[in-house]
Structure 1
């Protein structure tokens, strides 16, 4: 089996679509470290298609939810971490096309890289199958990740802020305490502090500052519970 045949077979299995333009999907898996055309433009497109697909889905599933709850549900399942989780389930890391240095640095394990490639693949799928085909794929692979409970999931940072306010503690303060890793796969370390008698602190890492802040908030909530 040639590399092209193997790639086409994997795309059909993972995405449920036989690619007409294999080069389009190869680009969706190509990281910028290769030095040529990469997945960035397709990622831009796929990010919008993913958001619209999920937004349309939850709008129909939760007809009584106000805008705030719908936004919370959307944000919970289109995050970089969620996209990376989907990518690993589909086997994306094994098919990423990376420059030598990026591969040596472990970029194929990066949430940023894997998540971006998933969005790029959605963009490529949209170009070949339209919104209907792309949305069908999104619903299939995101089915188990959508919280169908009546209560919308609460973002950890919002939940921590509410916890502090309810106990008359000072609002959470997030501090970037470290940054490491190569440009294509950075790691940020953030500490969160909640002042007051019942407060506390926690530290966590993430592939972005926002991701690290979210992880720190979640860690502190668990610590305080």
Structure 2
């Protein structure tokens, strides 16, 4: 009687993968921009991105927020404000990723 556990078809008996590992390009367009930026900074060992509120304007019931982010000693800031903090932060991260060439510029920023 054999007591082997479940194995994938690509595993050998010693648990090694038979298929060679090929580097894959990460597709950041399917991730939330803030998460993608955090992962990028972590991977490149830059330290976490520093988000800062640049402006908060408008009446209490209809505020607009503008963020900037500092990544690897460089600051990035979108041109327009957003109607809530969450989308303003996401828009800021997306602008940063676009400036770095990691997100296409033709993708509309809808957060």
TM-score in same-fold range (> 0.5): yes
Q: 1:207 aligns with which of 83, 87, 90?
A: 83
Q: 4+ residue stretches of structure 1 with deviation over 3 A? A: none
Q: 1:184 aligns with which of 48, 61, 74?
A: 61
| 1:218 equivalent in structure 2 | 94
Kindly indicate which of the two structures has a greater share of residues assigned to helix: 1
Larger radius of gyration: 2
Gaps (5+ residues) in structure 2? 1-27, 102-111
Kindly indicate which of the two structures has a greater share of residues assigned to strand: 2
Gaps (5+ residues) in structure 1? 1-150
| 1:165 equivalent in structure 2 | 42
TM-score for the superposition, normalised by structure 1: 0.30
After TM superposition, list the pairs within 5 Å mapping 1:62-211 onto structure 2: 153-195=30-72, 200-204=74-78, 205-211=81-87
Aligned residues: 72
Deviation at 1:206, TM superposition (A): 1.2
